[in-house]
Structure formats: C-alpha cells, structure tokens
Amino acid sequence: MMPLHLPSWCMAISLLVVPVTATAQEELGVGREVVVTGAPGERPTLVYGAANIGVQLIFDAPLQRTDAGTALHLPGGDIRLHPYLESSLFVTPSRTLANGPAVPLHVALTDGGVSLLLAFQQGRIDHVLRILQRPPAPDAGANVPRAAFQQALSGMAAAIFKDNACAPLQSQLVRAEVVNQAKGAAPDVLVCAAGTLNYLRVPRKQPGCAVSSARLLREGKDVEVLLQESVQSKKESWQVLAVWSPSERTEGFELLLLAADGTLCEKHPDLVLGPGDSP
C-alpha cells in the first residue's frame, strides 16, 4: 500500500484555518442568520464578501461531498471545508473577483441545495453566515383575495389590542381572551385568541431591522401566518401577526422575523397559542 501524502493546503489548514475557525466560533453570536425555503422563484441568499477575507457558511444539513471535495467551485476564489464541521465551509474571494459583479453559487447539501449570490458592497462583510432551510408556508385565503383578507385582519388587530390587554369586542359571534404565555417568552408578548384566529403582538428588540416576512414554527413545521405588520407608537415598536387558532392550548412555537434579503431580524421562542371562544 502506498503511503498517504496530504496535500500542502491541508498542512496550511492545520496552521492557519484552525485559529480562524476558533475566532469564527466566537463570532457566531454576531453573525447573520438567513432562512431559505427553496420555493419556486425564491431569490438567492446574499452573501457579502470582500477581497482576501474568508466567509464561514454554516448550513443545517451536511455538505454533499465527493472525491474531489464538495460540489461547489469558485473560479477566482478559494473554497475550503471546515476541519471538523460537516455542514460548514469557508469562501475567500480574490481581489480580482471582488472587483467584479456578484457571483452566483450553488452549494450542494445531502438533502438538496442552496442558491447563493456572492456580492461585494463596500462597508458590508459577512464573517459568519448561518443558512437555515425551512419549508415554504402555504398561501392564505381560498376564495377571498389575499389583500382583502389581510385588510380585514389588520382592522381586527387594531381593535383587539388595547394597551397591554385584549380589548372586549362588540360582537355577538366572537370574544377575545388573553393566552397566557410560558415563562421563557418575552414579558411584553401579548396573544389574544378570538374565535378561529389568534392575534400576536410582540415587542421589537431591533426596530432598525425592517421586517418583510415572518415565520411561525413548531417542531420544525410551519404554521400559516395570515397577517404580519409593523406597528409603532411614540415610544415602542411592535410586530403584529394573525394565525389560525389551535384546537387546544399549544406551547413551543418559535417566531422568526425576517428582512427582505432573508436576514433574521429577531427570534421569539417559547410562544403559546390557544383556542378561540365564542360568547
């Protein structure tokens, strides 16, 4: 049997990449998170790069590896696997590449793949980027136009939230009741169950991040979000949502508020939804 000779770049990894990896691990808390669905027409996830600076990409599934490495090639850049994480790699653009237009990439994973767009924008660099895969949420409203349905939900949400309570509704068909939250939820989260719908009002921790969409998950599965809109008072900012009421009190929901490019603005775990009641 012939002796195994490691290529020279493997030796470089042991000397150079491991310290960088340790630094990247420390920066996970300040890195970006984006959510992708793989839905038809979904825009590629933006990755902000710069010349000679490595970006660590972390996926929630292992990379699809071949005898030649991974199914990702970047002419004019360097791709290196993480030394021990099967779901992570490093992308380092060259100066020539960084002086050109954005570069489309496709990373092959064991459960599919993710389309990326490596972009170069002065003053914006990703050092650590987590990419989370979630199934697309179904559309709302079977026979009612979505815009009209959301207008009705928005009007109801404006009436149902009064100060820090669920306002009594002047209705013979439905009444609003507060759904008490678990200890792990933010103290100012307010959920009102009104008939077939639950209305959620969550405080914004980072109002500077403009929310474009929201995803509500439980045990890895999407719950249909019927309405999401931003509401602001003189002192506070809120995100208001509407979802279908569950048949019984249900814990363990996680709310993701996302920017237009898929960046995770905020995460609200441990939310509770409850059944609506009638007068």
Inside any domain, residue 207: yes
DSSP 126-146: -SEEEEEE-PPPPP--SSS-H
Using alpha carbons only, give the angle 132, 138, 142 rounded to the nearest 5 degrees.
Answer: 165
The segment with the largest mean pLDDT, out of 28-32, 131-135, 239-243, is: 239-243
Between CA 213 and CA 19 the distance in angstroms is 37
Cα 177 to Cα 160, 166, 198, 272, distances in angstroms? 10, 6, 10, 13
Helices and strands (DSSP H and E) totals, the chain: 4, 21
Lowest mean pLDDT among 86-100, 196-210, 221-235, 250-264: 221-235
- Give this prediction's pTM: 0.53
Between CA 18 and CA 16 the distance in angstroms is 6
Is 80 exceeded by the pLDDT of residue 101?
yes
Give how many domains the chain has, as a whole number: 2
Inside any domain, residue 138: no
CATH number of residue 189's parent domain: 2.60.40
Q: Do residues 123 and 163 both lie within one domain?
A: no
Q: Do residues 86 and 169 both lie within one domain?
A: no
Of 110, 133, 156, which residue is a domain's last? Answer: 133
Q: State the average pLDDT over residues 171-183.
A: 82
Specify the pLDDT at position 137: 61
pLDDT in tens, 1-12: 444 343 333 333
Q: Do residues 236 and 261 both lie within one domain?
A: yes
Q: Do residues 226 and 178 both lie within one domain?
A: yes
Inside any domain, residue 219: yes
Specify the pLDDT at position 71: 56
Inside any domain, residue 139: no
Q: Do residues 64 and 160 both lie within one domain?
A: no
Q: Do residues 166 and 231 both lie within one domain?
A: yes
Residue 187 makes CB contacts below 8 A (sequence gap 6+) with none
Mean pLDDT, the chain, integer: 80
Q: Do residues 126 and 50 both lie within one domain?
A: yes
Of 112, 133, 154, which residue is a domain's last? Answer: 133
Inside any domain, residue 161: yes
Domain of residue 121 covers 8-133
Inside any domain, residue 279: no
| Strands 221-223, 176-178: pairing kind | unpaired
Q: State the average pLDDT over residues 231-246.
A: 88
Q: Do residues 128 and 158 both lie within one domain?
A: no
Q: Do residues 158 and 92 both lie within one domain?
A: no
